[in-house]
Amino acid sequence: MCTGACSKVIAVPIYVLALVSIICNIMLFFPDFDTKYAAEDQYGEKRITEEVKYMGGLIGGGIMAVIPAIHIHLTSSGKCCANRCGMFLSIGFAAVGVVGAVYSLSVAALGLSNGPLCYWTNQQNPIPNWGVPFANSTASYLSDKEMWKWCLIPENVVEFNVGLFSTLLVAGSLQLVLCSIQMINGLFGCICGTCGGKE
């Protein structure tokens, strides 16, 4: 397969993954599919998990992935007739995608590690209050579903956050792989031409 056609194969999944990342990040602002928590957070009462506000899925996995995907896709236009300069530029754009994917991955991993912000209680904390119950916990809440019951409000917020942050983690990992492949593909296209020497 010529490097120009390979660029198209790489670009299309990046579009899809960027869309998934943006949707996941937006959904994370509305735990329990309710807008009241976002509204309350806007007025100074912490109701949204802090890592959601870093917008790893929107900025890193979304915008920083879509811009390189557009250029990578353009290098495949004209049935492998993209020039060496275009392939060279795609290396830089793919590097931007790598940075965005790493940012999205880091935020998602941090979000999973710390857990959600919720109205919670347990035996050590008998008076319910808003906070991040799993951040300073000695046990891993991800492997102990009994701990999920600590969060009372929003309902099912742990499952909600784990599902969406895990999706962002997978999407970011795939974007990282695809953009890295495009950097190698762009290098080959720049050195050897986009179609086995046919320009």
Encode pLDDT of 129-151 as tens digits: 888 888 877 778 888 888 889 98
pLDDT at 4 over 70: no
pLDDT at 196 over 50: no
DSSP lists the bridge partners of residue 129 as 120
pLDDT at 194: 54
Q: At 151, phi and psi to the nearest 5? A: -80, 120
pLDDT at 199 over 50: no
- Taken in order 108, 31, 55, 16, is the CA torsion positive or negative? positive
pLDDT at 44 over 90: no
Instruction: Look at residues 190, 164, 187 and name the one whose alpha carbon lies nearest to residue 27.
Output: 164
Burial label, 25 (beta-carbon count in 10 A; 0-12, 13-18, 19+) = buried
Using a cut of 0.75, tell me whether the model's pTM lies above it.
yes
pLDDT at 192: 66
pLDDT at 6: 65
Whole-number Å distance between alpha carbons of 81 and 76: 7
What residue ranges in 105-197 does DSSP mark as E strands? 118-120, 129-131, 151-153
DSSP-derived 3-state class of residue 29:
coil
